[in-house]
Amino acid sequence: MIPTWWPVTLSALLFGIGLFGLLSRRNAIAILMCIELMLNAANINLVAFSRAVTPQLLTGQVFAIFVMAIAAAEAAVGLAIVIALYRNRERIVVDEVDLLRW
The pLDDT of residue 100 is 60
How do the domains of the chain map onto residue ranges?
A: 5-96
DSSP state of 90: S
Alpha-carbon Rg for the chain, nearest whole angstrom, is 17
- Type of residue found at 54: T
Per-residue pLDDT of the chain (102 residues; tens, 9 = 90+): 789 999 999 999 999 999 999 999 988 899 999 999 999 999 999 999 999 999 899 999 999 999 999 999 999 999 998 898 888 888 888 887 776 665
Residue 43 half-sphere exposure toward CB, CA atoms < 13 A: 17
- Type of residue found at 57: L
Instruction: Look up the CATH architecture of domain 5-96.
Output: Orthogonal Bundle (1.10)
Cross-strand bridge partners of residue 27: 93
